[in-house]
Structure 1
Amino acid sequence: MPRKRTRIISLAACGVLLLSGALHAQPEGSGLEPVQAPPPIPGLQSGNTLEPEVTITHSKKKVFQEYRINGRLYAVKIIPKDGAPYYFIDLDGDGTLETREYFLIPVNQWVLFSW
């Protein structure tokens, strides 16, 4: 019986301590001002496209897919007849398509899912 009583008293004391901390977390009249609502998100302008433009060019041994946004080339996917497809990608936006030879540590990349 005394053991059960001490457990109830200790649980009640923990509850009182937790509630007292919540009451003093932010004193009343701390000088904070309410935050204004953010401005509305601007709509899409008529000249901008969100989806890439894909140009597909066929040759005897390869298929080239060029990806552009607003007329700027940012990636090329090359699909050879024999072998796996590979990419040239403009990683830093300077207009130069990088290949793996520019990287210090080459990382193998495969497309796992596509839809």
Structure 2
Amino acid sequence: MQKKSFLNILISATFVLLFPQILYAVTPDNAELLEEVPPPPRVQTGEVLEDEPEVTIRKKGKKTVHEYRMNGELYMLKIIPEHGVPYYLHKEDQHSDWVNVGPNPPLAVPKWILFRF
């Protein structure tokens, strides 16, 4: 048991001692420091953010639907049934159908032809 722990300590010490040299060797000679990037401006209270999605919550029957819109275009739905797990529907692009994202993948119905009459 002592032999194994000594080996672990030896490997750890070697790694700690060689790690800075490995990093230095990986850094190219012509590397330049990037200029300091200033932090983003602080958001004022009550200021409307343009990049934030617009969320509309509607009650349809026994389920709640959250509609997410960006620039007025509906791109995602979150459906919360009265009983069960919430799931999301979203569009891959503007012209595609809704895609189900959630705990239950879309139902795949077998379409094999077993017999023909």
Query: Per the shorter chain, which TM-score range?
Result: 0.3 to 0.5
Q: Which TM-score applies when normalising by structure 2?
A: 0.42
Higher Cα radius of gyration: 1
Q: Which TM-score applies when normalising by structure 1?
A: 0.42
